[in-house]
A and B are shown apart, each in its own frame.
Chain A
Amino acid sequence: MKRYWEEELETLPRKKLEELQAERLKKTIAQAMQSEHYKKLYAEKGLSPDSIKHIEDIRKLPFTTKQDLRDNFPYGLLSTPKKDCVRLHSSSGTTGTPTVIFHNQHDLNSWANLVARSLFSTGIRDTDVFQNMSGYGLFTGGLGFQYGIERLGALSIPAAAGNSIRQIKLMRDYGTTAAHAIPSYLGYLYEVFESEGLDPKKDTLLKRMIIGAEPHTDDTRKRIEELFGIKAFNSYGLSEMNGPGVAFECEHQTGLHMWEDAFVAEIVNPQTLEPVPDGEIGELVMTTLDRQSMPIIRYRTRDLTRFLPVECPCGRTHRMIDRIAGRSDDMFIIKGCNVFPMQIEGVLMKIPEVGNDYRITLETENNNDTITVEVEMRKGAFKGDLEELNRLARRITHDIRDEILVKPEVKLVENNSLPKSEGKAVRVFDNRIIH
């Protein structure tokens, strides 16, 4: 039985994989130098495909930022004639300049193949019925999955986002076995199942779901798995790197395999921009290796993750990254330690007495940085026992200290007393005096 979508590429020995990356990077540089932006930039710095002997030479190349994409809007990074392009995806751009990515037919084929490979690695096959509950249109989660599902050969239901009653009806009418949605939507969808008097575990044939597009904790994944009686697989992608199909969990759920034949992934310290050791959190930097119309080299994703220094039992040699731990813009430094709010959230969500919301405040006291974490208690967690509250606060303090290496002051606050965290709530208030 077939175990891999593309066995040779997916299990390529590391050395060979890195050679392939170096060779593709040279090609990518040559291609990128067809664009106004990279032509000028690399000429100024004296860079060319010959600058690359080994894949690690990628560090000689300058970073590309979102601002570079905006400054070159719309065609400054286009590396093939516009006539050659067949599709664009763009950020909504309701504020400021949108970021736009162009694809030619080769790029779309390569992208669809990566999505098919990703889905196959989770155990989805051409016998599955796949319902894509993602927004279509300019957002890459719609068409990105659509072409991948078709390439895999599964029956696709392009349900698009929203209209939960119809989603449920589609699932039941056509026997949906696999689906893709953002994790926060699935909690809501389950409530709709309940209000319809249905139980997705009994009343659907769902077996697998792909969740991604927004950072979430492992506890959220487990909750989704329990509610729907399925296996949920984490998917990572960003429109600058096509969209979905960049890194994906395989059936072992040990981390997200980064498809290194199609991308170079680096993880750097967001301050120094130097690579961090494997296992340490930093900002993900990505380079396309198989894109013609708009190659992007060393793109600062602002997403925080780490390489997982373990091998996956599936036999794929492509390195794994951890689930996204937040945005590098959210990072703060206290007492010399880099701290990400998601680290603190991860600690809090493991403690049953803790509610949904928290707030981090940084202050200066006697020339010292202090960190205060206000923690909402879960409804019903208060039993009227002072010693129990003190124990809880001590436990939270200890667990956060263990995670971020700085001792916080923990304040327990009333359930529902902190501002709600819908959308992008500001969790960190930095009131420190800048020296």
Chain B
Amino acid sequence: MIYQVSTFLENKPGYLRRITTLFKRENINIRAMTLSATNTSWGILSLIVPDPEKACKTLNDNGHSSVLRQIAALEIEDKPGGLDAMLEKLESLGINIENAYARVVNDGETAFLVVDTHDIDNAAQRIQEAGITMVSKEIVYGIK
């Protein structure tokens, strides 16, 4: 199972920097991140890191409420239309995406799409049955 770290973030100047500074100090590499904010005063920062458990604990220990959330990482072609094709497939499977963000892998040919959705187990099963390639934990975390 693959996890992202989701952190509660107050929408105030310097708050995101607090986290990046903390990660620098703790030597935690951020592989991918996305910030979802509403028009209100807070948002959620989602992070892909090599060791999610450690990062989550570090954040909580430093007063940033964080949780691990299971995600699915789907392989997409790193070319025009690659993402569109994937989203079309997900739509046809009736998977409603809460949050999604993409990352290119170093080989320059593949990219993966991180998908965060309710009822992830059910969604993952349907994705697999539809023949979509799931990217391994090692590739997502960048520890291969």
Q: Tell whether A and B belong to one assembly.
A: yes
- Residues of chain A having any CB pair with chain B under 8 Å: 377, 379, 381-387, 389-390, 393, 411-417
29 residue pairs A–B, Cβ–Cβ below 8 Å? A377-B65, A382-B65, A382-B66, A382-B67, A383-B67, A384-B46, A384-B66, A384-B69, A385-B44, A385-B98, A386-B36, A386-B43, A386-B44, A389-B38, A389-B42, A389-B44, A390-B38, A390-B40, A411-B10, A411-B40, A411-B41, A412-B41, A413-B10, A414-B10, A414-B63, A414-B64, A414-B65, A415-B65, A417-B63
Instruction: Answer whether residue B8 sits at the interface, using C-beta atoms and an 8 A cutoff.
Output: yes
| A381 to B66 CA separation, bound complex (whole angstroms) | 10
A414 touches B40 (CB 8 A): no
- Residues of chain B having any CB pair with chain A under 8 Å: 6, 8, 10, 36, 38, 40-44, 46, 63-67, 69, 98-99
Q: What 4 additional pairs, Cβ within 8 angstroms, besides A377-B8, A379-B65, A386-B98?
A: A386-B36, A389-B38, A411-B42, A412-B41
| A116 to B102 CA separation, bound complex (whole angstroms) | 74
Smallest CB separation, B135 vs chain A (Å)? 21
Q: Is the interface of B mostly helix, strand, loop or mixed?
A: strand
A412 touches B65 (CB 8 A): no
| A393 to B39 CA separation, bound complex (whole angstroms) | 12
| A4 to B100 CA separation, bound complex (whole angstroms) | 69
Residues of A within 8 A of B69 (CB): 384
Smallest CB separation, B19 vs chain A (Å)? 12
Supposing A412-B41, A414-B65, A417-B63 touch, asked if A384 and B10 sit within 8 A by C-beta, the answer is no
Residues of A within 8 A of B42 (CB): 389, 411-413
Residues of A within 8 A of B8 (CB): 377, 382, 389, 412, 414
Smallest CB separation, A397 vs chain B (Å)? 10
| A381 to B42 CA separation, bound complex (whole angstroms) | 15
Residues of B within 8 A of A381 (CB): 65
A416 touches B63 (CB 8 A): yes
Max chain B Cβ within 10 angstroms of own Cβ: one of A379, A384, A411, A415: A384
Smallest CB separation, A140 vs chain B (Å)? 42
| A413 to B6 CA separation, bound complex (whole angstroms) | 15
A386 touches B38 (CB 8 A): yes
Residue ID in chain A nearest B116 by CB atoms: A384
Residue ID in chain A nearest B118 by CB atoms: A385
| A393 to B43 CA separation, bound complex (whole angstroms) | 12
| A7 to B47 CA separation, bound complex (whole angstroms) | 70
A393 touches B64 (CB 8 A): no
Residues of B within 8 A of A384 (CB): 6, 44, 46, 66-67, 69
| A386 to B46 CA separation, bound complex (whole angstroms) | 11
Residues of B within 8 A of A389 (CB): 8, 38, 42, 44
Residues of A within 8 A of B64 (CB): 414
Max chain A Cβ within 10 angstroms of own Cβ: one of B10, B40, B41, B65: B65
Residue ID in chain B nearest A378 by CB atoms: B65
Residues of B within 8 A of A385 (CB): 44, 98
Supposing A377-B8, A414-B10 touch, asked if A393 and B65 sit within 8 A by C-beta, the answer is no
Residues of B within 8 A of A382 (CB): 8, 65-67
| A379 to B61 CA separation, bound complex (whole angstroms) | 12
Residue ID in chain B nearest A380 by CB atoms: B65
Smallest CB separation, A396 vs chain B (Å)? 12
Residue ID in chain B nearest A387 by CB atoms: B98
| A413 to B43 CA separation, bound complex (whole angstroms) | 10
Smallest CB separation, B32 vs chain A (Å)? 16
Residues of A within 8 A of B65 (CB): 377, 379, 381-382, 414-415
Smallest CB separation, A376 vs chain B (Å)? 10
Smallest CB separation, A54 vs chain B (Å)? 55
Q: Nearest 4 A-B pairs (CB), nearest first?
A: A384-B6, A382-B65, A411-B41, A384-B67
Smallest CB separation, B106 vs chain A (Å)? 28
Residues of A within 8 A of B66 (CB): 382, 384
Residue ID in chain B nearest A384 by CB atoms: B6
| A218 to B6 CA separation, bound complex (whole angstroms) | 35
Smallest CB separation, B103 vs chain A (Å)? 19
Residue ID in chain B nearest A390 by CB atoms: B38
